[in-house]
């Protein structure tokens, strides 16, 4: 299995909300297509209101709450 370090580039947010804060990303290492949990605060509970990038590639958001985002690492993402 190819291991990679997850680098979270951007989480976009509405100007009406507080700035998102990331407390942790689990797991810290994994392969392409892996499911990642981003824990923090001030996320939107609406999946479409959150955007997560790994490098320049947009991740698929599986579930979103105000304190957690569950995403998959997109194919083509890499860490050098």
pTM of the model: 0.75
Residue 18 located in a structural domain: yes
Q: Specify the pLDDT at position 42.
A: 95
In a domain, 79, yes or no: no
Q: How many domains does the chain have?
A: 1
More confident site: 51 or 76 = 51
pLDDT of res. 18: 84
pLDDT of residue 17: 60
pLDDT at 31: 82
Q: Which whole-number Å values give the CA distances from 16 to 19, 33, 41, 42, in the listed order?
A: 9, 32, 15, 11
- Report yes or no on 67 lying in a domain: yes
Between the alpha carbon of residue 38 and those of residues 25, 63, the distances in Å are 5, 11
Domain hosting 19: range is: 4-72
d(CA 64, CA 30): 21
Domain at 40, CATH number: 2.60.40.10
Higher pLDDT, 13 or 55: 55
- Provide the pLDDT for residue 28: 83
Q: Judge whether 39 lies within some domain.
A: yes
């Amino acid at each position: 299995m190819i291991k990679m370090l997850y680098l979270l580039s951007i989480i976009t947010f509405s100007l009406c909300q507080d700035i998102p804060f990331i407390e942790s990303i689990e797991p810290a290492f994994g392969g392409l297509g892996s499911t990642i949990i981003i824990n923090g605060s001030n996320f939107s509970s609406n999946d479409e209101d959150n955007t997560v990038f790994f490098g320049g590639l947009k991740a698929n958001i599986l579930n979103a709450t105000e304190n957690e985002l569950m995403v998959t690492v997109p194919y083509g993402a890499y860490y050098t």
